[in-house]
Structures are given as structure tokens and as C-alpha cells.
């Protein structure tokens, strides 16, 4: 039976990039298990040393539940039940000793939550839970409506799904987390578990280059619309309005989100769709004259790279009034048809 000391749960290419950089020795160890999404291209030269299990990671779509509550509650209940059985079967194949380190990028998705619920039931094992910054989620403050959702989840998910699931608007708040790695730890809002967490700063190692020449074309970092109350038709209209407002005859490139359905993007005309299975932080930003994002943490890397803030357009989808967004052209979704463009 395999003896395990490290478990990684990796959902996005960005998480994979950062975890490789920070925890390479732990990641590629014979005593490591990696659960990863199909959005990630693992280094095949290292797969032989580590047990790797590819999964489809899912979160609740409130849009689905709102539109067809009975249908989707049934679907989610079945999925969660299957997920729980799968996790139990996998854990029974491991030999976990007195110490275990678990590395996660978010505590929000269903698999991570159910996995943690199961593994923390193992007696006589000391667990260290380490979270790596996942997008802008670490920097969001919780509002009153988020508190209500938290209460709803705690009361009703055990009844509806036979599994206790938590609602997290601000990530990195799970009371089991011991350490957090973030690019801007000083901007993380305080919460009730902050005093128990050890915070570390990291950077991606991209040197700032504000003097580099900008080439041309516009780059759009897209978004999974099921995270918001936005239909496919509305998303297409949003992208078309942005392209009309900002492209000015230049070529348009779209970098899909790893969890994004490509149907809407692929139906757009005269657009180059980039590979979604790698981190946006690997792109050469200066190849583009303007860069558009939808309240994405890519802004952190754009600004640290020296890319001109006046050429960055952040579209506000969910009232994320974060300080690094406000350093860019911060535009409400209702204003995208009337964007003033200046060179």
C-alpha cells in the first residue's frame, strides 16, 4: 500500500505553475498524490514518480439552481454522493501516517471540501493544510449577503446533499488552513481565522520591463459566465461590445478561463482563441496594445510586469472593488459600449 505524506489538489494552470515553483520537491515525490483537473498539462517526464488522478472539478451553479431548482438539486445530490464514494475508495488505497501535508488552491469547489471533510476524520494524523492564492478570491471582503449564504449552506447542505459544504466568498478562510502563500498578503482582509494562519509572500519572478515596446492587437482574458447570473447570449453581447469599443481594427485574441465553456468564444468572428490549458501569466503582455479582463487577478501580474495601467481595462462583473483593479481603467459592465480609448 502506498505511503503518502503529501496530497495536492490542483484545479487551474495558475495553481500548477505556483505549486511547481514553491513546492517542487513535495510535488514530485514518491509519497505524493496529485488530484488535478483536465485543464492542466502535467509534466509527463515526472509522472512516473507520483500518483496522479485526473478529475472534473465542479462548483454549484446558482444560475442552474435558480432556473430549475428540483432538477439541479437532484443532479448535485447524485454527483456529491458519487464524489464521496470515490474519495472514500481512494483514501482506502493510501497508507497515511502521523503527518500529512495537503496543498490546495481553493477551498470553494465541491471536491476539495468533501475531500477535506473525509481526510480530517482520519485519527492520529496531524494535518497541515497549505493554501496557495487562487485568483482574486483571497482579497475579497465578505458582505452581509455572504453571511446569509454561509448560514444557509451550514443548515441545509447536510440535509440536501448529506454532506456539510461551506460557502466562501473570501477564500483562505477555512478554519483548518495553517499557511497561506499570496502575492499581496498585506491586502488580504482580516477574518476570524487570520490569527491562526501563517502568511507567506511569493512572486512569479517576472522582472518588470516598463520600457519595452508595445506591439499591437488586443487581448481579452475571458470568464466562465456560470459563475455569474449571465447567460451565453448575454456573454456574447458583452464580448462583442468590448471588441467593437476597443479593437479599432486591430486583431483580437481571447484567452479563455480554464473552467470556461468555449462555445460562446468559438462562435465569435475574426477572433483568435488561445489555448486555455496554460496560465495567463505565461503570456507576453507587451505583444498587445490593450488588455481586457473581468475582475481577474491577472491584473496583479500585469501591473508588476510594468505593463502600462492605462492600457488595462478591468470590467466589473461582481462589484469587486479591489485596490489593484482601481489602478486600471475600472469600468462597470453597463458602460462597455461607451469606453473612451486614448493612446
Q: What's the pLDDT at 340? A: 67
User: What are the residue boundaries of the structural domains of the chain, listed by start?
Assistant: 2-201, 218-338
The structure's pTM equals 0.88
Buried/exposed 38-56: b ≥16 CB within 10 Å, e otherwise: ebbebeeeeeeebbbeebe
Residue 202 DSSP label: -
Higher-pLDDT residue of 215, 285: 285
Rounded to whole angstroms, the Cα distance separating 134 from 59 reads 15
Query: Considering only the top CATH level, what class is 2-201?
Result: alpha beta
Quick one: CATH architecture of 218-338?
Answer: 3-Layer(aba) Sandwich (3.40)
Confidence category of residue 343, pLDDT binned at 50, 70, 90? low
Q: Which residue, 307, 137, 296, 283, is CA-closest to 214?
A: 307
Beta strand 198-201 with 32-37 is: unpaired
16: enclosing H helix or E strand: helix 13-27
For residue 287, pLDDT over 90 is answered with yes
Whose grid coordinates read 469606453? 339
Q: What's the pLDDT at 212? A: 76
Under 8 Å between Cβ of 23 and 103: yes
User: What is the per-residue pLDDT across 245-262, written as a single tens digit (0 to 9) for each?
Assistant: 888 788 999 999 888 888
- What percent of the chain has pLDDT above 90? 49
Confidence category of residue 56, pLDDT binned at 50, 70, 90? confident
Alpha-carbon dihedral angle through residues 80, 84, 89, 91, given to the nearest 10 degrees: 130
Rounded to whole angstroms, the Cα distance separating 329 from 96 reads 50
Amino acid at each position: 500500500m502506498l505511503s503518502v505524506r503529501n496530497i495536492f489538489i490542483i484545479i487551474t494552470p495558475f495553481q500548477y505553475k505556483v505549486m511547481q515553483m514553491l513546492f517542487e520537491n513535495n510535488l514530485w515525490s514518491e509519497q505524493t498524490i496529485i488530484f488535478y483537473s483536465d485543464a492542466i498539462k502535467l509534466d509527463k517526464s515526472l509522472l512516473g514518480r507520483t500518483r496522479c488522478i485526473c478529475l472534473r472539478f465542479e462548483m454549484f451553479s446558482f444560475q442552474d439552481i435558480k432556473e430549475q431548482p428540483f432538477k439541479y438539486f437532484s443532479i448535485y445530490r447524485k454527483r456529491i454522493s458519487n464524489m464521496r464514494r470515490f474519495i472514500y475508495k481512494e483514501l482506502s488505497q493510501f497508507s497515511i501516517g502521523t503527518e500529512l501535508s495537503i496543498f490546495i488552491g481553493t477551498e470553494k469547489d465541491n471536491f476539495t471540501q468533501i475531500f477535506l471533510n473525509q481526510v480530517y476524520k482520519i485519527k492520529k494524523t496531524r494535518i497541515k493544510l497549505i493554501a496557495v492564492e487562487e485568483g482574486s478570491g483571497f482579497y475579497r471582503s465578505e458582505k452581509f449577503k455572504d453571511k446569509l449564504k454561509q448560514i444557509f449552506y451550514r443548515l441545509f447542505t447536510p440535509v440536501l446533499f448529506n454532506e456539510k459544504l461551506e460557502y466562501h466568498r473570501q477564500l483562505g478562510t477555512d478554519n483548518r488552513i495553517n499557511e497561506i502563500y499570496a502575492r499581496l498578503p498585506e491586502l488580504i482582509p482580516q477574518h476570524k481565522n487570520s490569527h491562526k494562519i501563517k502568511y507567506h509572500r511569493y512572486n512569479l519572478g517576472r522582472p518588470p520591463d516598463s520600457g519595452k515596446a508595445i506591439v499591437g492587437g488586443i487581448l481579452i482574458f475571458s470568464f466562465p459566465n456560470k459563475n455569474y447570473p449571465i447567460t451565453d447570449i448575454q456573454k456574447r453581447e458583452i464580448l462583442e461590445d468590448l471588441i467593437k469599443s476597443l479593437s479599432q481594427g486591430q486583431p483580437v485574441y481571447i484567452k479563455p478561463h480554464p473552467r470556461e465553456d468555449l462555445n460562446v468564444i468559438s462562435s465569435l468572428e475574426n477572433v483568435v482563441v488561445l489555448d486555455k490549458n496554460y496560465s495567463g501569466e505565461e503570456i507576453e503582455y507587451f505583444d498587445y496594445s490593450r488588455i481586457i479582463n473581468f475582475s481577474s487577478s491577472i491584473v496583479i501580474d500585469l501591473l508588476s510586469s510594468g505593463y502600462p495601467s492605462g492600457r488595462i481595462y478591468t470590467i466589473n462583473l461582481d462589484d469587486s472593488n479591489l485596490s489593484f483593479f482601481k489602478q486600471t481603467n475600472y469600468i462597470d459592465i453597463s458602460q462597455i459600449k461607451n469606453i473612451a480609448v486614448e493612446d
